[in-house]
Amino acid sequence: MKLHEVRSLANAALVATALVSLTGTVARADGEVNIYSYRQPFLIQPLLDAFTTETGVKTNVIYAADGLDERIAAEGANSPADVLLSVDIGRLDGAKQLGITQPVTSDVVNANIPATYRDPEGHWVGLTMRARVVYASKDRVEQDSITYEELADPKWKGRICTRSGQHVYNIGLIASMLAHHGAEETEKWLAGVRDNLARKPSGNDRSQVQGIFSGECDISLGNTYYMGAMLTNEKETEQKDWANSAKILFPNATDRGAHVNISGVVLAKNAPNRDNAVKLIEFLSTPKAQQIYAEANHEYPLDPAVAPSELVKSWGELKADTLSLDEIARNRKAASELVDRVGFDEGPAS
């Protein structure tokens, strides 16, 4: 059995054990809300504490790295899940397509979250935003601006690192390129980026910054919040050295802007505590909650009236691509097929 299969089975077992407890004790209870979360507990606990303080509603959380969508689907009408917290439009839209969500109808949410970051039918709601940017070596890259299109320029041959093209973060970016340029041009572009890679795609976004620090590559793709996480990491201090070796370049700042994605929430189809679930979603959309989220996770608030943290501000101004996330979601399947067609994850062709 492969390692990733062992990990998946272990995660599934942990989730199943936790859910037996959850379904047996708090599936339906006055003054409570049940949260399934792909976001780690320490990232969301400050928000949940503030929600309980303000409303008196207790929160019960199940965390897992994967498998929660499928678990909700398998539980069906007996699912204790009220909401699912997730990241990336692909995962949020995936929950909708799996049929485990119901629309959120709320004037509060509609007032707080711009329509661009909400499902047109109400099945998912964005909470915070991150940009897919270019990390660049401070020592070896002089330029302070870049475009996604430029990543295919031969001048970057052997100088780019990235994680798998099939990871949801890269699929979102490729889907946005499809929306802007069409299939033929995007395929040429992706093949060009592939041939500029320093190695086969591997690791996570932090690994790419480590590659810049070690000199393995000069630029890489990554989400903005990883830089914040590395710079404030008190347990693994070497990550600060990695982060301090790189600068953030916001792609396409002079034209359409940088590709952005979201963290978000869905209302479970069979939520046993629906009213409390809507209260939670409404609270998470408020400026107060977005400020807490932004400070804890180094992400951008979706409410334009709420300022990013001082650390995030220090990276420069983000001009966000206004392309609808719903359109990005529609292009995800084609993006995934394109990654395989050009053999992106096999690394440079020559």
Provide mean pLDDT across the span 117-133. Answer: 95
Per-residue pLDDT reduced to its tens digit, 152-180 = 999 999 999 999 999 999 999 999 999 99
pLDDT at 305: 86
Is the full-model pTM beyond 0.85? yes
pLDDT level of residue 349 (50, 70, 90 thresholds): confident
Asked if residue 225 belongs to a known ligand binding site, the reply is yes
User: Residue 217 corresponds to which tokens in the numbers above?
Assistant: 């590559």
Provide mean pLDDT across the span 181-194. Answer: 98
Computed over every residue of the chain, the mean pLDDT equals 91
Fold of 130-259+326-346: D-Maltodextrin-Binding Protein; domain 2 (3.40.190)
Report long-range pairs for 25-32 (Cβ below 8 Å, ≥24 apart).
Answer: 26/60, 26/80, 27/78, 27/80, 27/272, 28/80, 28/272, 28/273, 29/273, 31/56, 31/57, 31/58, 31/276, 32/57, 32/58, 32/59, 32/60, 32/273, 32/276
One-letter amino acid for residue 101 of the chain: T
**Within the chain, where are the H helices?**
3-25, 41-55, 68-75, 89-97, 107-112, 168-195, 205-214, 224-231, 238-244, 274-285, 287-297, 310-313, 325-330, 332-341
Q: Report strand pairing: 58-63 vs 32-37.
A: parallel
Phi-psi region of 215 (alpha: psi -120 to 50; beta: other; left: phi over 0): left
The DSSP H or E segment spanning 63 is strand 58-63
Per-residue pLDDT reduced to its tens digit, 265-298 = 999 999 999 999 999 999 999 999 999 888 888 9
Asked if residue 226 belongs to a known ligand binding site, the reply is yes
Q: Where in the chain is the domain with CATH 3.40.190.10?
A: 3-129+261-307, 130-259+326-346
pLDDT level of residue 148 (50, 70, 90 thresholds): very high
Fold of 3-129+261-307: D-Maltodextrin-Binding Protein; domain 2 (3.40.190)
